[in-house]
Amino acid sequence: MSRMNLCKYLLFSALFAVLMGLFSVAHVTAQGAAKAQSNSFEFVFLTDIHIRPDMNAPIGFQMAIDEVNRLNPDFVLTGGDLIFDALRGNQQRSDSLFTLYKNMSKGFNMPVYHCLGNHDLFAIYEESPEGENHPDYKYGMFERYLGETYYSFNYKGWHFIVLNSLDVTEDKRYKGFVHGEQLQWLKNDLKEVDNTTPVVVVTHIPFISTWKFVNGGSGTRTVENADEVFALFENYNLKLVLQGHIHWKEEGFVNDWFHFITGGSIAGNAWKGRRHNTREGFFYIKVNDAVLSWEYVDHGWEKKRLKLAE
C-alpha cells in the first residue's frame, strides 16, 4: 500500500470508528428514553446479604452486584440482614461491617433502598457491653449509616413501602413486630395513596410463610402483629409483599388480592453453602403495566465458592 493510500485508509478507519461510537451512544440514549417513557419497569429484591470480611463474602456479594448491574433494573430493594452482625454490640466490628456494606452497595449502578434486618440491630443482646443509652442502640447504627428504618416512595404510578419489622423483647431478644408508632405512620402514608394505586411492601421478617409447615421446629419466623398491618391495606390495591429473614424461597397468592415472595438469600447458610437446599440468589421482578412477573436469579456463587475452596 502506498503512503498516500495508507493515510487514506487510516483516516477512513478513524472516521468509521467515530461514527460507530456516535451511533451506539445514540442507540443507548434512545433505549434509555424509551424506558423512561414506558410504564414498564424492573427491580430486584435482594435479601439476607450478611456481609462480613471473611468467608469470601465480599466476593460473593460483588458477584450479585455485577449480575444486578448486567440486568440493569430501575432500582434495588434489599430485604434486611445486610451485615453479620451488630447484635452483640461490638462497636468496632459493627462499624466496620456497616462501612463495608455501604461502600460495596455503592457499586450498584442504580438506586438502592435499604431494609432493616434483625442482624442489623445494634447491641440488643444480653451479652452486649453497650446499653440502651448508646446512641447506636437498636435502630441507631442502621439509621446513622443508611437512613430511616421505614419509609415509602413512588415509582411510575406504584407505591413502595419499606417497613421496619423488628422490635426487642424484655429478655433482650429480637422479635418480628411492627411497632405502634410505625402503624400510625403507615395509616397516614396510606391516606395519600389512591385505592387503585398498586402497592408493594418490603418486610424483613415474613408476614406469611410456609416455613413452619414444611420445616417443623419451634419458634415463630413471622411478624406477631401481621394481621394489624394487613388490616390497614384492606381497601388498597396491595400487589406484592417481599420478605426476607429465613433464607427460604417461596411465593403465594392470597384471595385474589396480593402475592407474597420470600426471597431466598445472598449468604445461603452463613456463606458456607445452600440453606434449605436453595441456591444463593435474588428475585428479578418485572412490572408490565399492572402485571407482575419474576424469576429467581442465581448469580453463580455456589460454583465460585466451590472453586475457591479447592
Q: Does the protein bind Fe ion through residue 81 (CB under 5 A)?
A: yes
- Minimum distance, C-beta of residue 38 to Fe ion, in the bound complex (Å): 35
**177, 224 contact by CB (below 8 A):** yes
**Binding window for Fe ion (CB under 5 A); candidates: 13-21, 33-41, 156-164, 244-252:** 244-252
CA distances from 166 to 99, 222, 223, 243, 285 (A): 22, 10, 8, 13, 25
Q: Does the protein bind Fe ion through residue 280 (CB under 5 A)?
A: no
d(C-alpha 277, C-alpha 15), whole Å: 55
State the DSSP code for 210.
S
First to last CA, the chain: 54
d(C-alpha 67, C-alpha 71), whole Å: 6
Q: Does the protein bind Fe ion through residue 165 (CB under 5 A)?
A: no
Binding mask 3-42 for Fe ion (x = CB under 5 A): ----------------------------------------
Coil, strand or helix at 220: coil
Residue 293 CB partners (closer than 8 Å, separation 6+): 285, 286
Coil, strand or helix at 241: strand
Q: Does the protein bind Fe ion through residue 275 (CB under 5 A)?
A: no
Nearer to Fe ion, 81 or 250 (CB): 81
Q: Among all residues, whose Cβ is closest to Fe ion?
A: 245
Nearer to Fe ion, 81 or 136 (CB): 81
**Binding window for Fe ion (CB under 5 A); candidates: 65-73, 155-163, 166-174, 240-248:** 240-248
- Minimum distance, C-beta of residue 67 to Fe ion, in the bound complex (Å): 22
Nearer to Fe ion, 226 or 287 (CB): 226
| From candidates 78, 105, 118, 128, binder to Fe ion by CB under 5 A | 118
Q: What would the grid cell of residue 244 be?
A: 426476607
Chain residues in the site for Fe ion (CB under 5 A) = 81, 117-118, 245
